[in-house]
């Protein structure tokens, strides 16, 4: 698309009989880099989108006048995303972050039409010369949570609320289960799918059903704080998701996996400003601070805290990998050989379940 | 004391003037709202209502966004005229996408150049099938079609999820929930573009043809006359021997078929593949479009464009004027409020009344 669009101020100015704005604005070194963010949810979701927006604000705080950010929230995954992206690219944004898997194809299509604009797509796997991908190693946080659950669960049965059976979610369930079984070999996970990333009603119902079946700890891969509130009401325990949810469960929250996107946003915006940006896949975790653990809650015993800290430190040091073989799936097939650790590719395509996970496995 | 009394007859001019007046009042209210919020009202209104129309590309996007809204609303409006309340166009749209898209995925190589017409046909059939269930329940068992058609929407979403997360998943897609692209399977599945360099396809032209056909059907055909009579005066229709059962079947299948076609045009057009979220609620928004357009084909084309503009304008306002996404909702709410208020005043008059004796004041 190479059509001429009149500057907005010119049209307005002419309409009002005021002085016309300059016809064209030349980009100079002093101009800030415009960074755009496309969100799938509202910035008030207390989870996924909220944390991306915190990252955006971190970026503004860190780089000040050198960047100018804008965001579009609640963008549906579908044809609308393409229009929003094009709008951002046309209005002078030099770097655009698309923060949901469903934006992948739209990001690639618009990127082809705007080769000078840099795009970064979260959680996807397709890249292009001006499209990079990024994600965080949340499974590392799941291993820390699983360790706590192994020490603190009385029934040995943990409820897990899943969104959709994609590799990201499967990876988290398996990492959690393996870590828990290291402490308590008979531990089992009851998995329930709610087919949504954010549906407080369904999530609360799932939590109730799982607690009724004897689970005493709740883990979730959905975005709302409803399961945490259920755990608090019943005097049981839960892990926060995406953000510290201790406000919703001051006694129930054991810890939470906190998404911390700020460092990545700052690093990549700097790279564009310095002219060193290149398409790449970024997958950082606890060691780089993209995944953080919330402070332990009141129910965490000193023994459990020490074990969890050890796992966290091991992952940061590189001495411990949550997927270290031998790992056999539920069908008895060896997925990771003894002594080996899962490669990034194996994890990114994970579609098998470790023994001890129960439920409708997709 | 104020008294509300019905006007003897609403003037036709007033009936058509009220929606226009409502739009004007919405913009005026919005102006003052922005002023109160400390936002430059002219710049904000410009971003919302003018800038999407200021380029050929913007106009093409408006037409693209309005296509499914107009298509669904055309079918629904005919049903609403007959007092048949199909609330489930969203589900019928999804089934159309599944049926037509399924043809594209599995049979398009065998069909050759016939692929797209057959996909469209099956899109219509899929929507009809989903609408046939409430029609059957209504005519045979007297079950309220509002409830059944609405609830079937959620079933449709689950059917779609089951397929996209399960058997229809792209084998090369790393386990992510989406099918292959139709054009990767057969080039004949592509809908030709109406305007080069845009996303606007021939589905838009087809939609306008269908609207014209619907207009002729309602105003010129005997069945169209029966539809109107059954809606306006059910007893008179029964006395005249018009079959209500037949009209229920006809309007349900018609509205379901058009919604199904809308779904197919979305997946075969701008999306290009089947994904878990096909529509951001077009089937529901179409209900508003139908009523805003006075259930009249020309009216609902205008209403479809207006709703499309409010969505696109809301995105623009976020990018260009840094307004929150809630602005879109507020404007749509304002618009409906003013439409209802103007309608009320067109049908009733408010009088300063003398104290009435023995008469209830509404």
> Above 60 in pLDDT, residue B358?
no
pLDDT class for A17, splitting at 50, 70, 90?
very low
Mean pLDDT along residues B301-328: 87
DSSP string, A36-98: EEE-SS-TTSSSHHHHHHHHHHHHHHHHGGGEEEEEE-S--SSHHHHHHHHHHHHTT-SEEEE
% of chain B beyond a pLDDT of 70: 96
Over the stretch B268-293, which tens digit does the pLDDT of each residue have? 999 999 998 899 899 999 998 998 88
Residue A4: its pLDDT value, please?
34
The shortest CB-CB distance from B319 to any of A16, A70, A80 is to A70
**B112: distance to nearest CA of chain A, Å?**
26
> Above 90 in pLDDT, residue B261?
yes
Q: Is A235 at the interface with chain B, CB within 8 A?
A: no
Over the stretch A155-185, which tens digit does the pLDDT of each residue have? 999 999 998 888 889 999 999 999 999 999 9
- Listed by start position, the domains of chain B span 65-294
Mean pLDDT along residues B146-161: 95
Q: Helix B203-220 crosses helix B244-266 at what angle (to 10 degrees)?
A: 170
> Above 70 in pLDDT, residue B355?
no
Mean pLDDT along residues A255-276: 95
Over the stretch B68-84, which tens digit does the pLDDT of each residue have? 999 999 999 999 999 99
Round to whole Å and give the CA distance between B181 and A219.
35
pLDDT class for A11, splitting at 50, 70, 90?
very low
Q: Is A165 at the interface with chain B, CB within 8 A?
A: yes
Residue B144: its pLDDT value, please?
95
The shortest CB-CB distance from A165 to any of B64, B165, B322 is to B165
Over the stretch A302-321, which tens digit does the pLDDT of each residue have? 999 999 999 999 999 999 99
The shortest CB-CB distance from A349 to any of B65, B174, B197 is to B174
Candidates B52, B56, B203, B319: best to mutate against A (most CBs of A within 10 A) is B319
A138-259+290-359 has the same fold as A30-136:
yes
Mean pLDDT along residues A100-125: 92
Chain B contacts in chain A segment 79-108 (CB below 8 A): 79-80, 82-84, 86-88, 91, 101-102, 105
Residue A26: its pLDDT value, please?
44
DSSP string, B142-182: ---HHHHHHHHHHHHHHHHHHHHHTTTS-TTTTT-S----H
* Two structure tokens written together for B209: 């043809």
Residue B252: its pLDDT value, please?
96
Over the stretch A35-84, which tens digit does the pLDDT of each residue have? 999 998 888 888 889 999 999 999 999 999 999 999 999 898 888 899 99
**B17: distance to nearest CA of chain A, Å?**
26
Note the CATH number of domain A30-136.
3.40.50.2300
Residue B331: its pLDDT value, please?
85
Q: Looking at beta carbons, which residues of chain B come within 8 Å of A72?
A: 315, 318-319, 325
pLDDT class for B1, splitting at 50, 70, 90?
low
Indicate yes or no: CB of A8 within 8 angstroms of CB of B320: yes
Residue A5: its pLDDT value, please?
36
Residue B10: its pLDDT value, please?
67
Indicate yes or no: CB of A12 within 8 angstroms of CB of B161: no
> Above 70 in pLDDT, residue A28?
no
Residue A150 · residue A299 · CB < 8 Å: no
Mean pLDDT along residues B165-171: 87
Over the stretch B95-106, which tens digit does the pLDDT of each residue have? 999 999 999 999
Average pLDDT, chain A: 89
The SS3 of residue B133 is helix
Over the stretch B15-66, which tens digit does the pLDDT of each residue have? 778 888 888 999 999 999 889 888 889 998 998 889 889 888 889 999 999 9
Question: What's the distance, Cα to Cα, between the start and end of chain A in Å?
Answer: 42
Q: Looking at beta carbons, which residues of chain B come within 8 Å of A166?
A: 165, 175-177
Q: Looking at beta carbons, which residues of chain A come within 8 Å of B272?
A: 105
Residue B206: its pLDDT value, please?
96
Environment class of A184 (CB within 10 Å of its CB; exposed 0-12, middle 13-18, buried 19+): middle
- Listed by start position, the domains of chain A span 30-136, 138-259+290-359
Give the lowest-confidence range in A102-106, A119-123, A212-216, B174-178. B174-178
Q: Which CATH number fits domain A138-259+290-359: 3.40.720.10, 3.90.79.10, 3.40.50.12780, 3.40.50.2300?
A: 3.40.50.2300
Q: What is the pTM of this model?
A: 0.79
Q: Which residue of A has its CA nearest to B280?
A: A76
Indicate yes or no: CB of A91 within 8 angstroms of CB of B319: yes
Beta bridge partners of B143: none
> Above 60 in pLDDT, residue B356?
no
Give the lowest-confidence range in A9-18, A85-94, A241-250, B145-154. A9-18
Residue A362: its pLDDT value, please?
59
Residue B354: its pLDDT value, please?
63
């Amino acid at each position: 698309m190479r059509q001429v669009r009149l500057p907005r101020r010119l049209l307005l100015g002419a309409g009002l009989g005021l002085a016309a704005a300059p016809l064209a604005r030349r980009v100079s070194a002093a101009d800030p880099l415009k960074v755009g963010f496309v969100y799938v949810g509202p910035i008030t979701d207390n989870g996924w989108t909220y944390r991306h927006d915190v990252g955006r604000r971190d970026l503004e705080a860190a780089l000040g006048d050198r960047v100018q950010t804008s965001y579009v929230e609640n963008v549906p995954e579908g044809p609308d995303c393409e229009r929003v992206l094009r709008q951002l690219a046309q209005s002078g944004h030099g770097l655009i972050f698309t923060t949901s898997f469903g934006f992948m194809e739209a990001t690639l299509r618009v990127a082809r039409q705007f080769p000078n604009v840099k795009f970064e797509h979260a959680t996807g796997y397709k890249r292009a010369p001006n499209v990079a991908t990024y994600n965080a190693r949340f499974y590392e946080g799941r291993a820390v949570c699983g360790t706590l659950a192994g020490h603190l669960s009385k029934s040995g049965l943990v409820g897990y609320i899943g969104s959709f059976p994609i590799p990201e979610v499967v990876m988290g369930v398996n990492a959690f289960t393996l870590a828990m079984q290291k402490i308590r070999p008979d531990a089992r996970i009851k998995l329930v799918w709610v087919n949504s990333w954010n549906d407080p009603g369904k999530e609360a119902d799932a939590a109730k059903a799982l607690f009724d079946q004897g689970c005493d700890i709740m883990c979730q891969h959905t975005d709302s704080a409803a399961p945490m509130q259920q755990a608090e009401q019943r005097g049981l325990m839960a892990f926060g998701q995406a953000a510290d949810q201790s406000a919703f469960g001051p006694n129930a929250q054991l810890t939470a996996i906190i998404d911390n996107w700020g460092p990545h946003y700052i690093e990549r915006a700097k790279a564009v400003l310095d002219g060193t940006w290149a398409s790449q896949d970024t997958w950082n975790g606890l060691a780089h601070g993209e995944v953080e653990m919330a402070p332990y809650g009141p129910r965490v015993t000193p023994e459990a805290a020490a074990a969890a800290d050890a796992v966290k430190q091991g992952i940061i040091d590189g001495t411990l990998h949550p997927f270290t073989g031998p790992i056999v799936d539920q069908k008895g097939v060896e997925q990771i050989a003894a002594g080996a650790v899962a490669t990034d590719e194996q994890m990114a395509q994970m579609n098998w379940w470790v023994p001890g996970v129960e439920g409708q496995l997709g | 004391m104020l008294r509300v009394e019905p006007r003897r007859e609403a003037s036709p001019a007033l009936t058509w003037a009220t929606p226009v007046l409502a739009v004007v009042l919405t913009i005026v209210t919005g102006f003052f709202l922005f002023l109160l919020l400390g936002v430059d009202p002219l710049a904000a209104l410009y971003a919302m209502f003018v800038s999407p129309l200021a380029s050929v590309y913007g106009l093409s996007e408006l037409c693209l966004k309005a296509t499914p809204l107009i298509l669904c609303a055309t079918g629904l409006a005919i049903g609403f005229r007959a007092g048949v309340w199909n609330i489930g166009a969203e589900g019928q749209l999804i089934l159309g996408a599944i049926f037509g898209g399924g043809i594209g995925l599995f049979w398009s190589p065998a069909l050759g150049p016939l692929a797209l017409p057959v996909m469209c046909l099956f899109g219509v059939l899929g929507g009809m099938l989903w609408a046939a269930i409430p029609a059957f329940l209504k005519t045979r068992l007297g079950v309220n079609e509002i409830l059944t058609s609405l609830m079937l929407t959620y079933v449709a979403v689950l059917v779609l999820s089951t397929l996209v997360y399960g058997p229809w998943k792209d084998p090369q897609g790393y386990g992510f929930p989406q099918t292959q692209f139709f054009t990767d399977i057969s080039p004949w599945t592509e809908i030709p573009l109406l305007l080069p360099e845009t996303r606007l396809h021939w589905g838009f032209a087809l939609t306008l043809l269908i609207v014209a056909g619907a207009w002729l059907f309602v105003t010129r055909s005997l069945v169209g006359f029966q539809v109107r009579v059954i809606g306006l005066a059910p007893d008179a229709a029964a006395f005249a021997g018009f079959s209500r059962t037949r009209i229920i079947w006809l309007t349900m299948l018609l509205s379901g078929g058009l919604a199904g076609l809308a779904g197919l045009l979305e997946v075969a057009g701008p999306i290009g593949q089947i994904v878990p979220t096909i529509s951001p609620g077009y089937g529901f928004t179409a209900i508003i479009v139908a009523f805003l357009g006075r259930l009249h084909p020309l009216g609902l084309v205008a209403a479809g464009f207006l709703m499309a503009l409010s969505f696109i304008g809301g995105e623009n306002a976020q990018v260009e004027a840094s307004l929150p996404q809630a602005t879109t909702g507020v404007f749509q709410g304002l618009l409906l409020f003013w439409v209802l208020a103007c309608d009320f005043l067109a049908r009733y008059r408010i009088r300063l009344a003398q104290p009435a004796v023995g008469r209830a004041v509404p």
